Amino acid sequence: MKRSTSIPAPPPDAAHVMPAMPCAAAHLAHNAYTADDRNFVTALARGMELLRAFGPHDDYLGNAELSRRTGIPRPTVSRLTYTLASLGYLSYIESMEKYRLGQGAMVLGHRYISGAGIRDIAQPLMQSLAFATDCTVALAMPDRHAMVYLESCQPRGALVIRLAPGARLPMATSAMGRAWLAGLDSAHREAALAELERHYGARWASVRSKIERSLRDHARRGFCVAHAEWDRTVSGAAAPLRLEGSGEVLALNIGGAATRLSPEILESNLGPRIRDLAQTLQARLWQAGAGRQGSTRTAAATSDACESN
């Protein structure tokens, strides 16, 4: 009989308060923008902060809790939640006087994944590796100080660590978080590290030393590992996945029980395999992106020719 190992809730490192947008540039904190930036719309930013305040276990949140999590004054929160509910991004539960994420928010997330063709291309390759290694294989994106699962493929083995889409791992202490950092260009990496430094405070020196070691490892062999770090029962290896044209970076991870996956197995077997999967997937995504651009140009040329006739 298949036995499922339940992973405890992530430590405070992975707190979901004020998470960020998925792309590297948007990962920077809202306070990175100044009042002098005339293109920055504060009201819109506050509305997005409210949507991002909902964590994976937060079915319902009221205005008071949303105000506490985001630091936005409660009267402003009330106006924003009313507007977001009117647009379908939140749903108001009158009997509870609370909100939950609406269909509009779900559609945006679905369009992000399907628009780049990520899930259709990645899932079969990820599932094949999960079956071949008897490990969980996952795709994740950044969310402030955490990494959030977008897709998770499970093996057939007797011991399955189930982290479903929406699960969160701390960025600084997980292999996939460090791989994401390694995949950034130097400017965005330094900005992300500065944000992590603000988050960790006095603990940052010890955390950064391990991140720097992982960055060196990635530069040398193309993947990062973490053995029983963010959770003493879990180990994994990860590699960055760069999306063509957008500058966005995701992370691919392979992992399982730390008692089974020793550092030697991570470094000699699983690390190279997840690196190779990331390279294969990246090439296919870039090829698919080039195909979509070619189709768009062809359609535009056909339309222009029709109009000229």
Give average pLDDT by consecutive 10-residue segment, the chain, 309 residues.
43 38 40 66 92 84 95 96 95 94 83 72 94 94 89 78 80 97 95 94 95 97 95 95 82 94 96 97 80 53 56
* CATH 1.10.10.10 residue ranges for the chain: 12-107
User: Could you tell me if residue 139 is left (phi over 0), alpha (psi between -120 and 50 degrees) or otherwise beta?
Assistant: beta
- Cβ atoms 213, 181 nearer than 8 A: no
Q: Cβ atoms within 10 A of the Cβ of 64, count?
A: 13
User: Could you tell me if residue 188 is left (phi over 0), alpha (psi between -120 and 50 degrees) or otherwise beta?
Assistant: alpha
Q: 116-292, what's its fold? A: Beta-Lactamase (3.30.450)
pLDDT of residue 62: 96
- Cβ atoms 22, 142 nearer than 8 A: yes
Q: 12-107, what's its fold? A: Arc Repressor Mutant, subunit A (1.10.10)
**pTM above 0.75?**
no
- Angle (CA) 62 63 68, round 5°: 100
pLDDT of residue 20: 37
Residue 15 tokens read as 């707190």
* CATH 3.30.450.40 residue ranges for the chain: 116-292
Residue 136 tokens read as 């969980």
Residue 233 tokens read as 């029962």
DSSP string for residues in 276-292: HHHHHHHHHHHHHHHHH
pLDDT of residue 120: 84
Ranges of H-type helices in the chain: 42-52, 63-70, 74-86, 103-115, 118-133, 175-183, 186-200, 204-221, 263-265, 271-308
- Cβ atoms 250, 139 nearer than 8 A: yes
pLDDT of residue 98: 95
